A and B are shown apart, each in its own frame.
Chain A
């Protein structure tokens, strides 16, 4: 101490002014706290009983069944078939959405229109076609798979094609947006060289841009497969068959032993897909999922990906899986052009317009606010728990040999932290494998109906997704600042606070905000089981064939989605 003060700072130089506590960021934080309080009010958490003590025996019975699932041969066969159907829908849906995404991705990318201009030797920028492509793909993206599913059920009936299209259309639009971003961030020099050599834009892109973008495109396609399995399960709940459908049946008939058999199949299916996709992502050296949604420039993979045995085997397996799925679920594309399909489409379209706001105007407003509150509560829960669990679930953190635990720590600690790692990973897998409506129904054992069980169900499900992606981000973290603080003798919690948290939190917050855009669309899913908000109204209107009401509700959804997208984009820009 005395030594430091030998050279004193001259008193004449003033300290720089301390930045005010109240700045743009803290204002948003304050706003967030207010929004959470308002949402809790909407869910009428205050001054009302939330927990239903009468439900505990039922919940215990449900949990107790987990150790004795129905393992009869007959039911195992049923579960196996259901799992194959869910997988089949997911694979076919992703395949179709990738096709749509490639087409849309090119049309939505700046680089394509620029290439077109270069080859036509035009000087000015034409933004019109690019903007048009962007807006055309924005609408299908805003509507959730389940709504698409309910729509196609009305047109095509409960056929495999309904499930596949319900996945492929919104997924295709999202994939197109991400692909266009990947294409725009891929280095352009090789393509430009080909263009200046006189190649057509399409050929220049195929030879000069796609090979470079391929690892990122492939990695994203496999990530979409993870999402698709979850969507395919949820679509089962509206009657499309598969694990989701069987789950709902066994839950409603109180056959919990059977339910657990189906749940274990679901965990296995999700776990295997997530593991496969994660392995491929690491092998490709492609950017993590979180980074794709941020402004980071896409990292180029370090080694030639197609030489890798895992990548080659995965590609072969994926094609085999697609062929098998097509054979197993047998979608009939001819259905799309069948006369009665078009007839029904005309009838539904005719009955849907003009939208009927009059009958339930005030109800619509109230339910829109409820839906917004539900999404805020869900994201608050998912964000907080996801951040905490992500550090526990990251392989390089508390785990043996990780940043905070030396490789030669006492074996007791290593056992404990290894156990924690497995436990949190299992928790996250279970949380994201079970579809939100099933979570909601389980929560309704012990919670009174209302917004809260719906919000919690969405929150738990989203926590599973966020926690895993964030754990991946922690694993990709630049460890050097952490190791530097550790080397100067700072205790573990302090290192976490000063190095791990600041270098991950901005990305986390940005990703949570992005996920909020997804969650506001997903509120419709818990509406299926009556958890309130617009989703519940929509389900009622659909079963009453009140199509004009449906259109009005959908417009409310669209408005909410746009509002949340705008808010999220604004705050994310502020965080950069």
Chain B
């Protein structure tokens, strides 16, 4: 445990983003679901443009952490700041304003199956659109050019008017990415975005996600079931285990031993 602690300290200084005001900041955050403690006493700072991988076994608290970052959950204790705002203190309207700057990609895509692709992509713009414009767009699609651009970037422009449920899993995740592109947020959270895809499709989506966040200098926090992509694509790897941070270090400093400890089966 001691060497892990020191690594944690070292990484904070080594991060090139340490000086800029953080996009996300967690101070002494804990979260419980009833009796179950999902996260305990987490302290984190994530800077602008930083790409962070959350790794760890299932049940380690990765999803809970992501849900705290965009205000979908409120912490049982501690403070979560996003873009400088304490999320727990915001009115619903102000919280929505912050949430518009945070895009999310999910494991199960979370698209509306029986809408056309264009509407699912345009759903990213709902935070900016008036109700009337949103309603009219369902009949006569609005801002088609922008949606088409987003779809071209994820490589499925030809599916613009297809029905979403007729797309393959990989294509649906691309639609979800296009939705985030149209939303144009400051930060992207991705919750195991490739766990539902075959390895080849998974690699494509991962490459796309990292390329897009790099080009547009968006902060990216991605939770991953396996650690391999974290090495190749991220500035920083955070190992979560049983609700606590086991290590927080640049990929070069994450040793196979640390990874083994992360996924080790708990001794009875």
Contacts and interface: CB of A to CB of B under 8 A. Distances in A.
Interface of A: 1, 3-10, 13, 15-19, 21, 406, 408-409, 480-481, 483-491, 493-495, 497-499, 502-503, 506
B102 A6 contact: no
B113 interface: yes
Contacts of A493: 131
Contacts of B102: 487-489
Of A7, A9, A489, most B-chain CB atoms within 10 Å: A489
7 tightest Cβ-Cβ pairs between the two chains A and B: A489-B99, A489-B100, A484-B110, A490-B126, A9-B152, A489-B96, A494-B126
Interface string B98-132: 11111110101011111100010001101101010
Interface in B58-113: 70-72, 74, 92, 95-104, 106, 108, 110-113
Given A21-B140, A487-B70, A490-B127, A7 B108 contact: no
A15 B148 contact: yes
Given A488-B102, A499-B123, 13 more contacts: A3-B216, A7-B153, A9-B152, A13-B152, A15-B148, A481-B110, A483-B110, A488-B124, A489-B97, A489-B102, A491-B127, A497-B134, A506-B114
A15 B160 contact: yes
B48 interface: no
A489 B127 contact: yes
A486 B72 CA distance: 8
B28 interface: no
B223 to A, nearest CB: 15
Contacts of A406: 92
A484 B110 CA distance: 6
A139 to B, nearest CB: 36
A13 B155 CA distance: 12
B104 A488 contact: yes
Nearest to A4: B184
Contact of A487 (B99, B114, B115): B99
B205 to A, nearest CB: 17
Interface string B183-223: 11100000000000000000000000000000111000000
Contacts of B226: none
Given A408-B74, A490-B123, A494-B131, A8 B106 contact: no
Contact of B144 (A15, A21, A488, A498): A15
Nearest to B157: A13
7 contacts: A7-B153, A15-B145, A481-B112, A487-B104, A490-B96, A490-B127, A503-B114
B144 to A, nearest CB: 7
Nearest to B95: A489
Most buried by B among A13, A15, A408: A15
Contacts of A484: 104, 106, 110
B181 interface: yes
B146 to A, nearest CB: 8
Contacts, number: 118
A9 B140 contact: no
Contacts of B106: 480, 484
A485 B74 contact: no
B138 interface: yes
A9 B157 CA distance: 10
Nearest to A15: B148
Interface string B155-199: 001111100000000000000000001011100000000000000
Contacts of B138: 497-498
Contacts of B32: none
Contact of B98 (A9, A13, A19, A489): A489
Given A16-B160, A498-B134, A488 B183 contact: yes
A406 B88 CA distance: 13
Nearest to B159: A16
Contacts of B6: none
Contacts of A21: 139-140
B149 A9 contact: yes
Given A484-B110, A490-B123, A490-B126, A502 B115 contact: yes
Nearest to A498: B123
Contacts of A498: 112, 115, 119, 123, 126, 134, 138
Nearest to B124: A488
B257 to A, nearest CB: 36
A364 B183 CA distance: 60
A16 B157 contact: yes
B111 A481 contact: yes
B127 A6 contact: no
Contacts of B161: 16-19
A491 B92 CA distance: 9
Contacts of A3: 184, 216-217
A18 B100 contact: no
B244 interface: no
Q: Find the residue from A1, A17, A485 having the highest chain B CB count within 10 A.
A: A485
Contact of A503 (B72, B113, B123): B113
A488 B152 CA distance: 22
A497 B131 contact: yes
